[in-house]
Structure 1
Amino acid sequence: MTVTSTHAPSRSPLILDLARRVPLTLGFVLVLLIVGLAFGGLWRPVGETPLMDQIAYGVPAFEAGRWWTPVTGAFFVVSPWGYVPTLLTMVSVGLLEAKRGSRVALAYFWIGHLFAVVTTALIVSLCASASGWAWAQDQVQMLDVGPSAGALACLAAFLGTLRTSWRLRGWLILLATLTIGVLVLGTLADLEHMAAVLLVLGVDRSLTPRRASLREQRLVAQVGMVSFAAIEVILAFVPTDGPLGTTAPLGGSPWSTAIDIAIVALVVSGLRRARRWAWRVATALLTLNTLLAAALWVLLVADSTGEASDLIDGDARIEIAAGILSLLLLVYLLSVRRAFQGDRHTRVGLAPEPGAREVRDALTAYGGGTLSWMSLWEGNSYARTSGGIVVYQRRAGVAIALADPLGPRASRASSAREFISAAEHAGLVPCFFSAGADTRRAVPKEWRSLVVADDTIVDLPGLAFRGKRWNSVRTSLNRAEREQVTFRMTRYADEPWGVHTQLHAISEQWVGDKALPEMGFTLGSLTEAADPDVRIALAHSAEGNVEGFLSWLPVYGEGGIRGWTLDVMRRREGGFGPVMEFLIAQSALTFRDEGAEVMSLSGAPLTHEYPPEARLLTDLSTRLADALEPVYGFRSLHRFKAKFHPRYETMYLLFRDEADLTRIAAGLTRAFLPSATIGQFARAGAELLRRDE
């Protein structure tokens, strides 16, 4: 009883919701299944029944006056195994219906289907009557059934509704797949599919001619080379009987095919990264294939005895087929050669590259955000723009910009855009990590954003730990006074060797408890705390031992230091319990008395509270936070900082689109853990698994 009452309500609304959103698609699928059941198409090919001549479309049907067949044929499937791919293609009808409504989906389906059937019949009829082309002579006698042309028309229309970058990827994959089908197989169905898609492409103009971006040019080159290799494999290993003629398995030279595939596999990643060497190797390969195909074609045309025609059944047919695509790709690669000017050491930004001294001067002169002092840490690179500097790290083919650009406030938006352009010219994936709202507004509108943390800001003017909300902070201060724990704000260089030894011992103890090494990038260590401009907050016991310490990074405004950002937090194991609360509270009072405006407790990753509608992002953040909590304690750190009642400023990861996230994740992993080994990752994973148990 309990199981039934729990699950029944959850299924019914889903089915009803699906029926409301895609009634046309569900209805068509139901009709296909009913027709297959009624006429036996679910268990035997419809071509083996007398029904085929009455319901199938093609040139013979039109010549016999059966003009109704384009409609009747749409409700049949050619064979039982064909129901699986046919029903899968109906998903595209459902996608378009859900996006633009049933009437629009119905129009695209039937107009695309009817146009494809009639146009294909006209083309093969003209080709057969105008020449002795064997392929055309075969196709003019063929009949076909199925709704796949209309479904692909709906898919093409759905692609037109996607964002620009995903639309381009979808169109490239679809057109490449259809082109391979037409050139290699060349059945009526393949021609109908291409005709339906080209109709939508011409009507919707969702790929209108325009100046493609560098990223799009490289993507086209990649897909083109992969398609070239795919056609070679099919022509070499699969028997075909298409427009290019008949080929038998292994009819050509396996060595030639293997070399082409190996070279394509070698250069395809390089083309994505804009590598000059990859473009040169690709153009050389395509040039050789084109010249070989041209030579074979000339030999065939010039042959007056007919002896050379026998070659067409062997190597020459495959080489000529590959040469056609090679020529098209070669022309394209030559036309976009400027997109492939990068190498592993290509500079990002204008010359000369800024140095750390210039970055420090820009930071102190124009100010920055709460993370800007991290620009001076080791491992960062600097991109000069026309009005400022962008700090970034180059990891795993990704240019990860740290926080917001430096320089005059009026130039920071243009600096962000210039950095994006420079990174793309270098073949890198650009992104901004822990950027603020101003940079989010500066990047292109089609860029995406994810919240990576909330910067915790405590406003210092008038700060006083009075009232009930500050009970826990006052408790730590009072306990420190009773136990004679003292506070001191200092600098690392000003402390004696004995204090240095204690600081390193406490830090090494903390690191030793982790399966992974200390994180970097936006998380410092004692190395960064030793900077003369960084301040150290110390808590000493009555015996003079260091109970814990903090490091504070300066936050510059245009008039000098306006605040401080918390970086390193370390405490002695088994020492004074509330030492962190004590140190932060005393630091806040010290900075307040010095006239500072703000104190940032920095941001804890993976702890942002998302709105209810962002359910997917919430689930992802929760899973990651749960997994990493025993290793780095992000969530507990966030709860600790909440004791100081900060206001929150959102920090974003800004990126082009979701296709970049895998590479960005790899780049960020290396930025945060540059020295981590495979063994350390394995031990961290084992620790997470033990926690799950």
Structure 2
Amino acid sequence: MGQPVTVRRVADIARRLPATAALLLVLLAVGVASTGLWTPFATSPLHDTVAYGLPALEAGRWWTPLTGTFFVSTPWLYAPIMVGLSGMGYLEFRRGSRVALSYFAGGQLGAVLISSALLWPAALLPWPWAQEQAGALDVGPSPGVIACLAAAVSLLPSPWRLRAWTVLIAVLSVTFLYWGSLNDLEHLIAVAIVLVVDRSLRPQRVPVREQRLIAFVAVCGLGAIDILTYLSPTTGPFGSSDPVSGSWVDVAVNTVIVLTVANGIRRGRRWAWVLLVLYGILNALLLLAVGLLVLIVGLGGVEGSLDLDLTISLASSATWVVALVYLVLVRAAFRARPKAALGDAPAPSVDEVEAELRATGGGTLSWMTTWEGMSYARFGRGIVAFQRRSGVALALGDPLGPDEARAATVRAFIERAENAGLAPCFFSAGEQTRAAVPEGWRSIVVADDTIVDLAGLQFTGKAWGAVRTSLNRAEREGMTFRLSRLADETWGVRQQLRSISESWVGDKGLPEMGFTLGTLHEAADPEVRIALAVSPAGDVDGFLSWLPICGDGRVRGWTLDLMRRRDGGFGPVMEFLIGSSAQHFSAEGADVLSLSGAPLAHEYPVDAGAIADLQQRMAALLEPVYGFASLHRFKQKFHPRYETMYLLYRDEADLTRIGAALTRAFLPHATLRQFAAAGLDLVRPGK
């Protein structure tokens, strides 16, 4: 059963990718006919007749650039060529057979002919490598395959296009400079042809963050290559070297520079860029000076005069010159000022933020942006509330201000954060903000906001039985509901609330959470209302805090923040408080009641990604401590509708920093000892 299915799949692929399939079949057929599939073709008497290179063209064998394409020199090379054909297949799938064949033929013939044209005059110089390669013959389709692979890279979406180009060019350049042969020269020329044809490598047009990331990876790679090539033999254009030869001083200097500036480059610091550019210029001058001497007296004469093996030093200098070209092209990306204001000056005050909320409204979490610890970035009428944590500009909720300014505000905040060397992201943002972020940004659900519509709210029917029962029981037991403000309550009541809250915190082993979860300090805001459940004896059995939701120039609803109950008090106190609050706010004319989204309590699909895995791990850790999942289930008793809240971020490369930023934002005052104690508490019997 399995074999016919496999055959059908292969046949289907061959029909969809006829050019790639035909080339594969020809290569295999020629390999069988020439025995090249199991014996080295380089030893065959036919080799010199079909192989391409400068000697073949000088001898008048004009057909060799075509015939040599379909032979492979050694059997093990068939495997990487077959893998490389996947690039041609992708190119053919995206752009058609004619385009794929054009890139293959153009890359193959162009690389073979141009390399011969370059080696012909180079062999006249006192350059042993050029003289050796000018007399070499080669076979194989690898230049054309590399050309197709490069053309396929140009079809990738941003930011993966630049990343793939960087890897491809880096691998081919390093291979050529340190271990280069005729085949490696042809590969570089094939890639150069593709770059000239489609001009898809434009590092200046990618986001600033991406330019810095590529520079960081390149600098780290150069440091690793210097160490690797110092320890291993090389056979490249600059000569051959034995293991542990060359100048260890050069390797040490390069390593120190990499360790010094790598993190600065990643963060876009100007000083790091200047240092690398100066070092690149020194390498370019060294390469130029030694190159002139080599042309005059030859490499052996220079090394004999200086009593020094220049092979690795020159190759290293060449790689640093390539890095210098890239750094100059993207120089505008290295002007980060990490402590610079992210918005227009002056930054808005808390009073101005509150005024904007009242004027243009906001979401269910918007009042949290007025809490301590928030910073503000203004862009015209738009305002973004955020925190700087672990190199992340962590924005809370949606931008404030008119809806028509939201997209421009989001883009401006992202641009300013990236210029400052920060990773921008939005936590608990809504659909409008999700639609406003740049193309290619990732999103994942972090919570479901639970909204209860108050218009015509009646606790009737079987569905509301639990809430109705709690209200009736409270009436029988003499419980009193009171809605007020913290400052209006007596000293005795405030002390009871503090005692209940401190008792709740003391049982957790971790301090009260922040960011989207308030404390009594935030509840003291005169705009925040407190719902109290008071027993016949005058004891407060539980309390809630409600944050205003502004809109249409008025308070259009309320968001639940604090939920605290006294141990041993009235059983269904929370159902009683929320139900009574909903009735009261409905009578006042409010439109909605948000029971807020329980953080870390969303159920993710299996393919949700790394940040979902991080949040699920945090939820598992903190559930016995904070009970987010049980809180989420409790809110379902009020039959809310749900509005999705997202974490919006650039891509997976930011997740490590975002995870650290969220941890510090939610638990800004937690110590390592408290984290450890909470972890131990989870594994105790009965927990």
- The alignment's TM-score, normalised by the length of structure 1, stands at 0.85
CA, structure 1 residues 205+344, in 2 after alignment: closer, same or farther (shift >3 Å)? closer
CA, structure 1 residues 399+305, in 2 after alignment: closer, same or farther (shift >3 Å)? closer
Deviation at 1:414, TM superposition (A): 2.2
The answer as to whether partners of 1:473 and 1:643 remain within 8 angstroms in 2 is: yes
Matched to 2:535, the amino acid is S
The answer as to whether partners of 2:392 and 2:425 remain within 8 angstroms in 1 is: yes
Deviation at 1:123, TM superposition (A): 3.5
Match of 1:405 in 2: 399
**Deviation sequence 1:2-37 (CA, Å, 0-9, x none):** xxxxxx99x997996677457757887788788878
Match of 1:135 in 2: 129
**Deviation sequence 1:322-347 (CA, Å, 0-9, x none):** 44444454465456444222234222
Partners in 1 of 2:421 and 2:31 — Cα distance? Answer: 52
Are 1:568 and 2:549 an aligned pair?
A: no
Match of 1:4 in 2: none
Higher mean Cα deviation, 65-74 or 228-237? 65-74
Are 1:554 and 2:548 an aligned pair?
A: yes
CA, structure 1 residues 391+112, in 2 after alignment: closer, same or farther (shift >3 Å)? same
Partners in 2 of 1:690 and 1:56 — Cα distance? Answer: 74
Deviation at 1:462, TM superposition (A): 1.4
5+ residue gaps, structure 2, are none
Matched to 1:485, the amino acid is M
**SS of residue in 2 equivalent to 1:200:** helix
Partners in 2 of 1:426 and 1:517 — Cα distance? Answer: 31
Partners in 2 of 1:565 and 1:672 — Cα distance? Answer: 19
Match of 1:429 in 2: 423
Deviation at 1:227, TM superposition (A): 4.8
**SS of residue in 2 equivalent to 1:660:** helix
CA, structure 1 residues 546+49, in 2 after alignment: closer, same or farther (shift >3 Å)? farther
**Deviation sequence 1:501-533 (CA, Å, 0-9, x none):** 443443344444546543321122233223232
Partners in 2 of 1:140 and 1:230 — Cα distance? Answer: 31
CA, structure 1 residues 27+488, in 2 after alignment: closer, same or farther (shift >3 Å)? farther
Match of 1:530 in 2: 524
Match of 1:120 in 2: 115
Match of 1:201 in 2: 195
Are 1:459 and 2:463 an aligned pair?
A: no
**SS of residue in 2 equivalent to 1:566:** strand
Task: Return the match for 1:478 from 472, 475, 488.
Answer: 472
Higher mean Cα deviation, 34-43 or 113-122? 34-43
CA, structure 1 residues 394+618, in 2 after alignment: closer, same or farther (shift >3 Å)? closer
Partners in 1 of 2:499 and 2:27 — Cα distance? Answer: 74
Deviation at 1:603, TM superposition (A): 1.7
CA, structure 1 residues 343+602, in 2 after alignment: closer, same or farther (shift >3 Å)? same
- The alignment's TM-score, normalised by the length of structure 2, stands at 0.86
Match of 2:155 in 1: 161
Partners in 2 of 1:553 and 1:38 — Cα distance? Answer: 81
The answer as to whether partners of 1:538 and 1:548 remain within 8 angstroms in 2 is: yes
Match of 2:593 in 1: 599
Task: Return the match for 1:579 from 552, 556, 573.
Answer: 573
The answer as to whether partners of 2:452 and 2:593 remain within 8 angstroms in 1 is: yes
Deviation at 1:216, TM superposition (A): 4.2
Higher mean Cα deviation, 188-197 or 670-679? 670-679
Are 1:283 and 2:277 an aligned pair?
A: yes
CA, structure 1 residues 13+477, in 2 after alignment: closer, same or farther (shift >3 Å)? farther
Matched to 2:480, the amino acid is T
Matched to 1:603, the amino acid is G
Match of 1:518 in 2: 512
The answer as to whether partners of 1:184 and 1:231 remain within 8 angstroms in 2 is: no
Give the aligned length.
679
CA, structure 1 residues 592+389, in 2 after alignment: closer, same or farther (shift >3 Å)? same
Are 1:628 and 2:623 an aligned pair?
A: no
Partners in 2 of 1:666 and 1:71 — Cα distance? Answer: 58
Match of 1:386 in 2: 380
Matched to 1:580, the amino acid is M
The answer as to whether partners of 1:363 and 1:406 remain within 8 angstroms in 2 is: yes
CA, structure 1 residues 404+306, in 2 after alignment: closer, same or farther (shift >3 Å)? closer
Task: Return the match for 1:241 from 219, 235, 249.
Answer: 235
Deviation at 1:472, TM superposition (A): 2.2
CA, structure 1 residues 66+280, in 2 after alignment: closer, same or farther (shift >3 Å)? closer
Matched to 2:115, the amino acid is T
Partners in 2 of 1:499 and 1:19 — Cα distance? Answer: 80
**SS of residue in 1 equivalent to 2:235:** strand
CA, structure 1 residues 571+70, in 2 after alignment: closer, same or farther (shift >3 Å)? farther
CA, structure 1 residues 354+413, in 2 after alignment: closer, same or farther (shift >3 Å)? same
Partners in 2 of 1:323 and 1:333 — Cα distance? Answer: 15
Deviation at 1:585, TM superposition (A): 0.9
The answer as to whether partners of 2:54 and 2:136 remain within 8 angstroms in 1 is: yes
**Deviation sequence 1:77-102 (CA, Å, 0-9, x none):** 6254x455445434444554665567
Matched to 2:63, the amino acid is W
Are 1:617 and 2:608 an aligned pair?
A: yes
Matched to 1:521, the amino acid is F
**Deviation sequence 1:117-156 (CA, Å, 0-9, x none):** 444344334533x444321221133344444434433332
Task: Return the match for 1:257 from 238, 241, 251.
Answer: 251
The answer as to whether partners of 1:22 and 1:102 remain within 8 angstroms in 2 is: no
Matched to 1:78, the amino acid is T
Partners in 1 of 2:92 and 2:543 — Cα distance? Answer: 61
5+ residue gaps, structure 1, are 1-7
The answer as to whether partners of 1:300 and 1:308 remain within 8 angstroms in 2 is: yes
Match of 2:84 in 1: 89
**SS of residue in 2 equivalent to 1:547:** strand
The answer as to whether partners of 2:444 and 2:612 remain within 8 angstroms in 1 is: no
Match of 1:5 in 2: none
Partners in 2 of 1:504 and 1:238 — Cα distance? Answer: 68
Higher mean Cα deviation, 96-105 or 410-419? 96-105
Higher mean Cα deviation, 286-295 or 159-168? 286-295
Partners in 1 of 2:45 and 2:462 — Cα distance? Answer: 89
CA, structure 1 residues 170+288, in 2 after alignment: closer, same or farther (shift >3 Å)? same
Partners in 1 of 2:141 and 2:173 — Cα distance? Answer: 19
Matched to 2:155, the amino acid is T
Deviation at 1:373, TM superposition (A): 0.9
Q: How does 1:411-450 map to 2 (within 5 A)?
A: 411-450=405-444
Match of 2:212 in 1: 218
Match of 1:190 in 2: 184
Higher mean Cα deviation, 587-596 or 60-69? 60-69
Partners in 1 of 2:455 and 2:393 — Cα distance? Answer: 38
Match of 1:171 in 2: 165
Q: How does 1:24-43 map to 2 (within 5 A)?
A: none
